[in-house]
Amino acid sequence: MPQKKPVVAVVGATGAVGREMLATLYSRKFPAAQVIPFASSRSAGSKVPFGDTELTVRELKEDVFEGIDLAIFSAGGSTSEKFAPHAAAAGCVVVDNSSAWRMDDRCPLVVPEVNPHALEKHNGIIANPNCSTIQMVVALKPLHDAAAITRVVVSTYQAVSGTGKKGLDELERQVRQLFNGQDPEIKVYPYQIAFNCLPHIDVFLDNDYTKEEMKMVNETVKIMEDPGIKVTATCVRVPVFYGHSESVNIETKRKLTAKEARAILAQAPGVQVLDNPKEKIYPLAIDAAGEDLTFVGRIREDESIANGLNLWVVADNIRKGAALNAVQIAEELLKRDLLRVPDKGLFLKK
């Protein structure tokens, strides 16, 4: 008996990632019976593009999820915390793009190329990882399977689109102001972002790491399902519109040569190797923008330790880092016939 097509909601449909969610559902021909965009009351009644047509945005309320099979949330942590439990209580499976549920033991944290099996035990809410974590673990998982990674040192170079439209607008505005001899107006970031790098993403915690850095530490261990992997991160905002870049240093139990690593990554799902230093071929953020793959280059052995490798990892943070990964999770749920909620009241229980 053919599986019925699900009714799909996109929550936060008017934002940059929400619109990308809609575009990704359409471009990947996700087999939805209907796609319904939701947003706050101030956006209700507006139109959002969906392929060659437009959809009318509905107001997000607690009681709107009856009859909806799948909801992809891209509306911020507080919205997810409030509305996702009501969606699950209505029997609607949630794929959430915020940080609200990522470290909740009831919720799998999934990158389909890495740990799709985690979906088998979902309870109604599935977490989409942080953008910088996603692209890194896509590159690390095949290397971990081959040689057992014990330590990761990562430095990120993250685009302003990670802050949303306001980040994009701030960079563009400051560039124009500086070119016109004006003082840059600083609203979004603590300092000027144009022609600058800020080693500060999200708030600082008691250990002097930022919340963004600790997301990478904790999420990597959960996704890779190996508490033995030690991770340390420095996350930097850079004046790039789209595409996060990462310098990743790994240490493994078994030695991997650079040649072996290239061969492994060349066969890895979702990865494209661009690595020919003699021809100046390596991944660039401007080339990754608009692409679905995670690009890896500058693969070389770390000569300071016995079993170390350096990698340069680049991906579009709005696509693979958010919208694409969420839609891939939805596709995997459909493929595995997992669009059901085992305990509809789980997330509403006190």
Q: Are 179 and 195 in contact (CB under 8 A)?
A: no
Cα(87)–Cα(65) distance, integer angstroms: 5
Cα(161)–Cα(322) distance, integer angstroms: 11
Residue 349 has pLDDT above 90, yes or no: no
The pLDDT > 90 percentage for the chain reads 97
Give catalytic residue positions: 131, 244
The whole-number average pLDDT for the span 184-208 is 98
Residue 3 has pLDDT above 80, yes or no: no
User: What are the strands, taking DSSP E only, across 280-330?
Assistant: 294-301, 308-315
Give pLDDT, residue 1: 46
| SS3 (DSSP) at 301 | strand
Cα(100)–Cα(176) distance, integer angstroms: 36
- Mean predicted lDDT score pLDDT of the chain: 96
Closest CA to 123 of 145, 102, 108: 108
Residue 178 has pLDDT above 80, yes or no: yes
C-alpha 80 chain-centroid distance: 16
Closest CA to 112 of 269, 292, 311, 318: 269
Give pLDDT, residue 76: 87
pLDDT in tens, 11-51: 999 988 999 999 999 999 999 999 999 999 999 999 999 99
pLDDT in tens, 199-212: 999 999 999 999 99
Residue 350 has pLDDT above 70, yes or no: no
What is the pTM assigned to this prediction? 0.95
Q: How confident is the model at residue 194 (pLDDT cuts 50, 70, 90)?
A: very high
The whole-number average pLDDT for the span 145-166 is 97
Give pLDDT, residue 2: 56
Give pLDDT, residue 75: 86
Q: Is 119 left (phi over 0), alpha (psi -120 to 50) or beta?
A: alpha
Q: Are 70 and 4 in contact (CB under 8 A)?
A: no
User: What are the strands, taking DSSP E only, across the chain?
Assistant: 7-11, 34-39, 47-50, 53-56, 58-59, 70-73, 93-96, 125-127, 149-158, 230-237, 244-252, 271-273, 294-301, 308-315
pLDDT in tens, 95-136: 999 999 999 999 999 999 999 999 999 999 999 999 999 999
Structural domains present in the chain: 7-100+323-348 (3.40.50.720), 132-316 (3.30.360.10)
